[in-house]
Chains A and B, each alone.
Chain A
Amino acid sequence: AQSVTQPDIHITVSEGASLELRCNYSYGATPYLFWYVQSPGQGLQLLLKYFSGDTLVQGIKGFEAEFKRSQSSFNLRKPSVHWSDAAEYFCAVGAQEYGNKLVFGAGTILRVKS
């Protein structure tokens, strides 16, 4: 079965600093990988996704993620964090053989200090 691990429950970064949020997945073949962001009181918004091809994926709001098959990882990065990036971030995995569901990690809460 698929599973997703986000090792960091909370991360605090200074505004303007770089950010990396970690995501590891467990799945036998190449999965479909997603990053979502959830602001307080809001639903989930898709930041970016990886299906195949170039392993470095660009998303919205200046985010990018890199798929590393050898490490079963799909880490999210941003070169310079803005205060408005404070939110909870979820990594998710999907696969054709598991139908239509996405399996989410437990999330990482990002706090941005000025």
Chain B
Amino acid sequence: ETGVTQSPTHLIKTRGQQVTLRCSSQSGHNTVSWYQQALGQGPQFIFQYYREEENGRGNFPPRFSGLQFPNYSSELNVNALELDDSALYLCASSLDPGPMNTEAFFGQGTRLTVV
């Protein structure tokens, strides 16, 4: 148990719809990173939020957006869903932004299926 919780655990959406995934960070952590893990692949960095501001972004289109709230929980929003968006979405929280400085604790993920 890492203290990082993600909801929902599973989700099925239709192509073209929009989806919101949620992450509750570990107590005391001000940084949340989101990763996409497609089947058979390693996680890919989507973006990171630090103290409510985006703090780094991977190679994902603008229809992937996020928010971080004052309590440091976070949302990942994906618009105009495509079949290739089907994946496990992982949230990781940490004490500060640099993965080289502190350990990132991962949630169990949200399995998104787009049909």
Contact = CB atoms under 8 A, between A and B. Distances in A.
Interface residues of A, number: 25
A43 B4 contact: yes
B72 to A, nearest CB: 15
B40 A90 contact: no
B43 A94 contact: no
A8 B92 CA distance: 26
A104 B44 contact: yes
B42 A45 contact: no
Interface stretch (B12-20, B63-71, B76-84, B93-101): B93-101
Contacts, number: 67
Interface residues of B, number: 29
The majority secondary structure among interface residues of chain B is: loop
B100 A96 contact: yes
A42 B108 contact: yes
B55 interface: yes
Interface of A: 4, 32, 34, 36, 41-46, 49, 51, 90, 92, 94, 96, 99-107
Interface of B: 2, 4, 31, 33, 35, 40-45, 48, 50, 55-56, 58, 90, 92, 97-100, 103-109
Given A44-B90, A46-B103, A94-B100, 13 more contacts: A43-B4, A99-B55, A99-B56, A100-B33, A100-B48, A100-B50, A100-B56, A101-B48, A101-B56, A101-B58, A102-B43, A106-B40, A107-B40
18 contacts: A32-B99, A32-B100, A36-B106, A42-B108, A43-B90, A43-B109, A44-B43, A45-B2, A51-B100, A90-B42, A92-B42, A100-B31, A100-B33, A100-B55, A101-B33, A101-B56, A104-B42, A105-B42
